[in-house]
Chains A and B, each alone.
Chain A
Amino acid sequence: MDTSQLLKGVLDLAVLAVLRKDDGYGYDVVRRLRAGGLNEVGDASVYGTLRRLYNAGMLTSYVVPSEEGPHRKYYSINETGRARLAESRETWRSFASTLDGLLEEVAA
């Protein structure tokens, strides 16, 4: 099964999760997702997701000048984002356990 199809539905959750502790700029978020095991995540998808979460009011952004190269725009999660993260985590857990149960029955 192609995990990239699965990712589409949960990328919001994954991006909010990696921003929960520390603010990050786009490529930073990509790296954290990959370090967390999501090797197939596409750069452009992450950037698009950041924009969507930002436009939905779940992230704020600020610009940090860089010694070499363009400025870096950092995203940080706000209260709305945290609420969404908590809500999505519950949804995901119940969904995953439901699916686990289904798969257990199949295996049994």
Chain B
Amino acid sequence: MNTQALGVEYYLAGMRAALDDLPPNEVAEIMEDVEAHVAELSTELGDDETLEQRLGSPELYAQELRQAAGYPPKTERLPVTTKGGWLTRPRAAAWGLVAATGVTLLAGVAALREPAILLLPAVILVLSLALVHDRGPLQQEIMNLPETHRLKKWLAVEPGTPAERALTYLTSLQPAWWLIRAGLLGLGAVLLAGRDILGFLALAAIAVVSVFAGPRAKVDRRWLWFSLPASALAVGLLFQVIDVTANQLAYGSSSRSSYPQPIVEPYQNIYVYDENGKLLTNVLLYDQDGQPINAPRGYNSCNDPGNGPEPVIPANRYPRPKIDYENGVCYTVAPSVSAPSSTASTAPSSSGSAPSSSVPPTSVSPSK
């Protein structure tokens, strides 16, 4: 079986060599026919029968085919293959596809932060596909490139080995991957939805088309220019989602220890003294924006249900009334400690222009 497979490769290589003076498009079309033919014939061969015995040498086969097809004999070389040289369009297109897929994988990791980065691989893909789009669905010229053959040989596994079974199993999972891929791309689109409407539309479109691209690429290799980068993008997005999730988990568990919040003692009331140490009552406090300063109300504020309707007093009027638990009425009581006389001297008492309690300090607030 394996020697038959080698025989097929050898025979096809001989055919290509015998046809290599024809236009590449035409060679690709012929080889599409011949590959299927030789592959089917090789399954019909007996154990000690060879393709040469059945079909004649590749050169004879090619000669007969050329005659019947009306091509010129091999000696008349057409100038088509002599131009182009090393950097042919199929080769440029193939490497463009490889490069764009790689770039998409990298860009996919950043695609949620900056979706516009996907324009770079998109441009490479469009350009490289444009080079070979007219070469037919099988892209035989790319399949005939030496690097493609090396890749195929490298991927080829002997039938019956565990590696071959694993490969067969993985191949059977392909439709599942197409769905997972669409799901990942759709998830990426959803994550972008609120921030970048263009990125959302682009990713959503890619997600939808990717469902069809998988099976289409089996028939028309030009779809690989969509299918391969879509897979790379899905993997990139997966990495990013994992990364973000991991970061959030790490942040959630270590935030308190690594970023200690300044400890603020909650206060429930404010007592204001003048320079003579006299407690001021009914003082209204405002911040620099004219907003009332509200101390957090403790449970001992004066809104107990037993008190009836809460008295309408501005929340920033200090000192707040304090409830007396013994008889359940609200009245202002002085703090348990008397006014610290030492802090009174450090207070800005020298500025005698302290506003009266009824005037909101917006008039003296620093200009914004």
Contact = CB atoms under 8 A, between A and B. Distances in A.
Interface in A27-79: 27, 42-52, 54-55, 63-66, 69-73
Contacts of A50: 33
Interface in B274-299: none
Nearest to B38: A70
5 contacts: A44-B61, A45-B64, A46-B68, A52-B70, A70-B36
Contact of A25 (B36, B41, B43, B220): B36
A65 B68 CA distance: 27
A13 interface: no
B30 interface: yes
B218 interface: yes
A73 B32 contact: yes
Given A27-B40, A48-B69, A55-B70, 11 more contacts: A11-B68, A27-B37, A43-B55, A43-B61, A44-B55, A48-B71, A51-B29, A51-B69, A52-B69, A69-B40, A71-B138
Interface of A: 8, 11, 25-27, 42-52, 54-55, 63-66, 69-73
Contacts of B67: 45, 48
Interface residues of B, number: 32
Nearest to B136: A63
Contact of A71 (B60, B62, B70, B219): B219
Contacts of B196: none
B39 interface: yes
A54 B69 CA distance: 10
B55 A26 contact: no
A74 to B, nearest CB: 10
A54 to B, nearest CB: 8
Interface of B: 26, 29-30, 32-37, 39-41, 43, 55-56, 60-71, 137-138, 218-220
Query: Lowest 9 CB-CB distances: which A-B pairs, in order?
Result: A48-B68, A48-B69, A44-B64, A48-B65, A44-B65, A51-B69, A69-B39, A45-B68, A70-B35
Nearest to B30: A51
A47 B55 contact: no
B33 A73 contact: yes
Nearest to B41: A27
A27 B61 contact: no
Instruction: Count chain A CB atoms within 10 A of each CB in B33, B39, B41, B220 and give the residue with the most.
Output: B33
Contacts of B32: 63, 70-71, 73
A84 B154 CA distance: 48
Contact of A26 (B37, B63, B66, B218): B37
Nearest to A30: B37
B39 A70 contact: yes
A43 B68 contact: no
B68 A72 contact: no
A26 B36 contact: yes
